[in-house]
Structure 1
Amino acid sequence: MTSPAADRARYDRATEHLDAPFAAVDLDAFDANAEDLVRRAAGKPIRVASKSVRCRALLERVLARDGFAGVMSYTLAESLWLARSGFDDVLLAYPSVDRIGYAELAADPKLAAAVTVMVDDPAQLDLIDHARDGGGEEIRVCLELDTSLHLLGGRVRIGARRSPLREPVQLADLARAVLARPGFRLVGLMAYEGHVAGVGDALAGRPLRSRAIRLMQGAARKEIAARRAAGVAAVRSVVGDLEFVNGGGTGSVQYTAAEEAVTEVAAGSGLYVPRLFDNYSSFRGRPAALFALPVVRRPGVAVVTVLGGGYPASGAQGADRLPEPYLPQGLRYDPQEGAGEVQTPLLGAAADDLLIGDRVWFRHAKAGELCERFESLHLIEEDEVVAVAPTYRGEGLTFL
């Protein structure tokens, strides 16, 4: 891993012919992060979460590596587009009510063979049936198990509010409902433990909270491992074998992969390593996805203003959802202005070394959301831009 100062010099050399703002991906870091994910997965295949990448060229790049297999998509429209583009194993990770998309899926044997949709309620099966519009292709279905940790008799819930299917008996009941319906085939089970995979346990300057998170996650890993195994057994008792059992995310790859019931793990953010993934004790990735903003003003001592910058991440809003002024080191937001819609003032001694036209490199708080702001990613190897890859937005697509 190179020093931040060396990375900044390398990025500046590679992109000196470009006018900021623009986004870039350090391919050396991207590939190193992919290799680390494979190491942590310990032989189980990694399904790439497309929402955390949002660039076809980079999805293709990582899927060409040993250890990666399949895509985890986030909308039905995206799933169909990826399948038409040659991706032959696409798991839609969220239920959809896209009637037009379901009609297309049910009418096309290639799409139906490549795409698996998520259900957690019989009403979703009803919607799909009503949307078929005469299409007779069998729809591949995956069930999702709720992974949230319940404490104090269920009065305290930790984890995302996703599936209503919490107990193995509920999974088995829905599996029977799928089995009883013509035109559907149950092929998989998914359980995403976001409170483990997506919550850092080593918060800078907050040792007590970090310890509390580690204790919670230790308890959560044990609880979900037992319940996931029971859920898999319950579903298999109804339908026989499953093609896959998916779990985990970047922050929990090694723990989830160790479960016997899990056949594959999911990851995506760990390829770009946005700022929210700095707070993990179990692994350390290399920042790979960046965006550069130009210095357009020098309002005073120890302050510069850059163009743009107001690109907050989704989730419960707070300072951790803002992009991080990354290079040069030592810059921070003005607390009265934050990251602005059109311009962003940055404070710190490092500002005095920046001239009009220089650039400041930022890291987004989350991974793929950066690609909704830029039409292309400049792909850097060593100190050269070797390719320019369109993002989803650059291909004229905004799925959400």
Structure 2
Amino acid sequence: MKRRSLLGLAGLGLLGGWALRPSDHGQPYSPYFATLNQLLRRENPGVPLLVVDLERLDQNAELLAQQLGARLPLRLVAKSLAATGLLDYLAKKLDTQRFMVFHQPQINQLAQSFPQADLLLGKPLPSAAALHFYQQLPPASAFDPPRQLTWLIDSPARLGQYAELAKALNQPLQIAFEIDIGLARGGFADPAALAAALSWLRDTPTLLRVRGLMGYDAQLAHTPFWVTQNVAFTQSTARYRSFIAAAEQFPGLWPQQPLLNGAGSLTYALHAKGDSALNEVSVGSALLKPSDFDTDLLSAQQPALWVASPVLKVLPGQLPFLDSGYSLLQGWNRNRQQNYYLYGGQWPAEPLSPSGLSYDPLYGRSANQERLIGSASTGLHVDDWVFLRPQRSEGLFELFNQLVLLRNGRLVGSWAAHNRA
């Protein structure tokens, strides 16, 4: 358990006086979570769960399809949807077999689970990781890497490494170039740098085959006050088109129908309604909408993913080393009346229901028995469930064995989670 110093309490002058006394934030479950709590009390294995609301997921998927229409094909981001069942469900619902992948073991997983898939790397991998993919691919696999897998190249050095890898494997490798369109996170910095790489490919016999470009523009969702989002989008799009223009000077290398990938959950809506340079967009988190994606562009989407954990203990509020003084703290702040200990913890998630629960900054976090504080107004008891809203889905699924599926107030199945996205 990580403990914080309690000495700072004395300097608060009885915590700012009763005039600044916090109001009681505790409330019982909302009807939605009251129903879910009763459901989990009846039908669950008694361990922390990830719950996917399929009705909300469907609504988010339908909204996404309406926004993109037929003009912008969709590529599902596997790291944000890291469960084969979830990817399969969404791929069928959204009529796509395109996936963006970020982790070598997941490339092999998807090649096995989706043998007709089109896989694009979302980040450049070491050539050793790429080699490991080929070593783990079964000889009889129906997945055809030269046609269905596109590796990402971000520098001249990595271009040379993948050329050597293709030679060692004695098979063609498809590549796309990562370009910097304003995020300043690497990739080819300007059209001249891309042209130099293409010149090297033109003059050097290799088994590499150029497929297109990938330019990520997450910075557009976080423009500073002195730049409007529309201006930033226009500038980013112009940068993307300048890279396309440079690539088109190499007709022997540049395909007639190149892949022009970009966007992401935070920015796909700009491309859907604006003058985009892309011919496909990548989206993942917007379909589940964790709290990091609470933005104006995603205001119509609904949260569809919850962490659920049973309450192991309900104890009167207390802190180590402050036995007698804690009653003053409780009297001043009714949101410290009770301590609630959960099964597991330290998830990237914030308590949501019942309302008024929070982590205790004076006590710290725990991955084994997460401690929440709240008032008696929550009405929580041992074996009730606390629901937390994830901040993000990336890296979350690997902390759970499965996703539990909710529809119309009933548990209707589960999907196994991937080991890591």
Q: Same fold (TM over 0.5)?
A: yes
Distance in 2 of aligned mates of 1:350 and 1:53? 37
Displacement of 1:358 in angstroms is 0.7
With normalisation by structure 2, the TM-score equals 0.78
Distance in 2 of aligned mates of 1:352 and 1:58? 33
Distance in 2 of aligned mates of 1:307 and 1:23? 13
**Structure-2 residue corresponding to 1:245:** 260
Displacement of 1:38 in angstroms is 2.0
What SS is found at the alignment partner of 1:369?
A: coil
Displacement of 1:101 in angstroms is 3.2
2:269–2:297 contact (8 Å) kept in structure 1: no
Q: Which amino acid aligns with 2:395?
A: E
Q: Alignment RMSD, CA only? A: 2.5
Structure-2 change in CA distance of 1:181 and 1:365 (3 Å):
farther
Distance in 1 of aligned mates of 2:133 and 2:398? 26
1:296 to 295, 312, 315: 312
Structure 1, unmatched stretches of 5+, are: 149-158, 202-211, 313-322
1:37–1:253 contact (8 Å) kept in structure 2: no
Correspondence list, 1:198-347, <5 A: 199=222, 212=224, 215=227, 217-238=229-250, 239-257=254-272, 258-280=274-296, 283-300=299-316, 301-312=337-348, 323-347=349-373
Q: Which amino acid aligns with 1:94?
A: K
2:403 to 354, 373, 377: 377
1:251–1:280 contact (8 Å) kept in structure 2: no
Does 2:393 align with 1:367? yes
2:346–2:365 contact (8 Å) kept in structure 1: yes
Structure-2 change in CA distance of 1:13 and 1:178 (3 Å):
farther
Correspondence list, 1:1-400, <5 A: 5-15=30-40, 16-18=42-44, 19-43=46-70, 44-66=72-94, 68-87=96-115, 88-99=117-128, 101-102=130-131, 105=134, 110-132=144-166, 134-148=168-182, 159-163=183-187, 165-179=188-202, 180-197=204-221, 199=222, 212=224, 215=227, 217-238=229-250, 239-257=254-272, 258-280=274-296, 283-300=299-316, 301-312=337-348, 323-349=349-375, 352-393=378-419, 398=420
Structure-2 change in CA distance of 1:67 and 1:351 (3 Å):
farther
1:332-385 per-residue CA deviation (whole Å, 9 max, x = no partner) reads 221223442222222233664000111101111111321021011111111122
What SS is found at the alignment partner of 1:368?
A: coil
Displacement of 1:296 in angstroms is 1.5
Q: Which amino acid aligns with 2:380?
A: L
1:232-277 per-residue CA deviation (whole Å, 9 max, x = no partner) reads 1221231242432111111211212333421011110111111111
Distance in 1 of aligned mates of 2:410 and 2:196? 56
Moved more, 255-264 or 380-389: 255-264
Moved more, 4-13 or 68-77: 4-13
Displacement of 1:11 in angstroms is 2.4
What SS is found at the alignment partner of 1:246?
A: strand
1:293–1:360 contact (8 Å) kept in structure 2: yes
Tell me the number of residue pairs that the alignment of Structure 1 and Structure 2 aligns. Answer: 359
What SS is found at the alignment partner of 2:52?
A: strand
Structure 2, unmatched stretches of 5+, are: 1-28, 317-336
Displacement of 1:28 in angstroms is 0.9
Greater relative contact order (Cα 8 A, min sep 6): structure 1 or 2? 2
**Greater gyration radius:** 2
2:166–2:206 contact (8 Å) kept in structure 1: no
With normalisation by structure 1, the TM-score equals 0.82
Give identity over the alignment, percent: 26
What SS is found at the alignment partner of 2:124?
A: coil
